Amino acid sequence: MSTPAQPITFLKGHGTENDFVIIPDPEGRLELSAAEVARLCDRRAGIGADGLLRIVRSAAHPEARAMADAAEWFMDYRNSDGSVAEMCGNGVRVFAHCLERMALAEPGELAVATRAGVRRVTLGEDGAITVGMGRAVLPGPGLTVTVDGRSLSARHVDMGNPHAVAFVDSLDEAGRLLEAPGVAPAEAVPNGTNVEFVVDRGPRHVALRVHERGSGETRSCGTGACAVMVAAARRDGLDPAADGETVTYTVDVPGGSLIITERADGEVEMTGPAVVVAEGILDPSLLEGA
């Protein structure tokens, strides 16, 4: 990154403890390399986060320009290793909350451009935020997830980004999750995938652990919770688009709970919190040598 003329401000926030460094960059002047994003997200040498959200005007970003009429703001999401991902469900809530906090958006409804398309966000007066997450796509063939030397059948669900959802009897079956689980066939997920392990907690109530592509195990994943809800509904014989009935599940994550609804038109909605815990200015030395 070239030396910026102005100090770089940041916010730190989370959604169900999936945490983010948020960098407002309305005119799109900060092109952060993968190494710079990884340094910012480093929990010892940096600020520390599961991912980074750059707030850029859609018109100022080549990947978002075509969405500028529909959504003024583009969420440039990066995983903690610096890799680019299409979509981040918890991130969209935190992103919208930051826009409102910075008076860049009115309370109420707002559209956010992402690499997976435009997402509609409703900022509730009670602090809960609902996001229209689009339709789930379930590519036909199943996947096999290998973790701790065990192979598990998994459902492939695309929520704009890829997920492999494996139902287990105990979340301990995922082991320590220090490394990415194996997923086969590799050709089905050519860009890698997020992997969710799921147990039942009660009627229309499940809990998950997740290993995120590019970030490792995190305490929540919004797109993952949506993928899990849809996989659980199909397993339970429910398909709102075919049955004409809206279905809602509670999805517990290690960092809290998300409410996920699949409507009769196939649209998946996620409701959950967004929190900002700090605001600050980057010391320019943080990115030196990254």
Q: Which of 58, 114, 130, 194 binds ligand LBFN2T5F (CB under 6 A)?
A: 194
Distance CA 100, CA 109 (A): 10
114 binds ligand LBFN2T5F per the rule CB under 6 A:
no
Measured from the CB atom, the residue of 57 and 213 that comes closer to ligand LBFN2T5F is: 213
The contact mask relative to ligand LBFN2T5F for 148-187 (x = CB under 6 A, - = no) is -------------x--------------------------
Q: Count how many residues are written for the chain.
A: 290
The contact mask relative to ligand LBFN2T5F for 54-93 (x = CB under 6 A, - = no) is -------------------------x-----x--xxxx--
**Residue 79 marked as a ligand binder:** yes
Measured from the CB atom, the residue of 8 and 228 that comes closer to ligand LBFN2T5F is: 228
Structure token pair of residue 31: 């092109």
User: Closest Cα partner for 102 from 8, 7, 23, 15?
Assistant: 23
Measured from the CB atom, the residue of 7 and 71 that comes closer to ligand LBFN2T5F is: 71
226 is catalytic: no
Site for ligand LBFN2T5F in 220-249 (CB under 6 A): 221-224
Measured from the CB atom, the residue of 103 and 277 that comes closer to ligand LBFN2T5F is: 277
Measured from the CB of residue 156, what is the shortest distance to ligand LBFN2T5F in angstroms?
13
- How many chain residues touch ligand LBFN2T5F (CB under 6 A)? 19
- Choosing from 41, 98, 221, 226, the catalytic residue is 221
Q: Which of 28, 46, 181, 214 binds ligand LBFN2T5F (CB under 6 A)?
A: 214
**Residue 51 marked as a ligand binder:** no
Measured from the CB atom, the residue of 55 and 88 that comes closer to ligand LBFN2T5F is: 88
Q: What DSSP string describes 160-215?
A: SSEEEEEE-S-GGGGTT--SPPEEESGGGSTT--EEEEEEEEETTEEEEEEEETTT
Beta strand residue intervals within the chain, DSSP E? 9-15, 18-24, 51-57, 73-79, 109-114, 117-123, 129-135, 143-147, 150-158, 162-167, 182-184, 194-202, 205-212, 216-218, 247-253, 256-262, 267-272, 275-281
Structure token pair of residue 169: 């009897």
> Cis bond leading into 162, ω under 30°?
no
Structure token pair of residue 275: 């929190």
Give the burial string for 255-278 (b: 16+ CB within 10 Å, else e): bbbbbbbbbeeebbbbbbbbebee
Annotated catalytic residues are 88, 221
The residues binding ligand LBFN2T5F (CB under 6 A) are: 18, 51, 79, 85, 88-91, 161, 194, 212-215, 218, 221-224
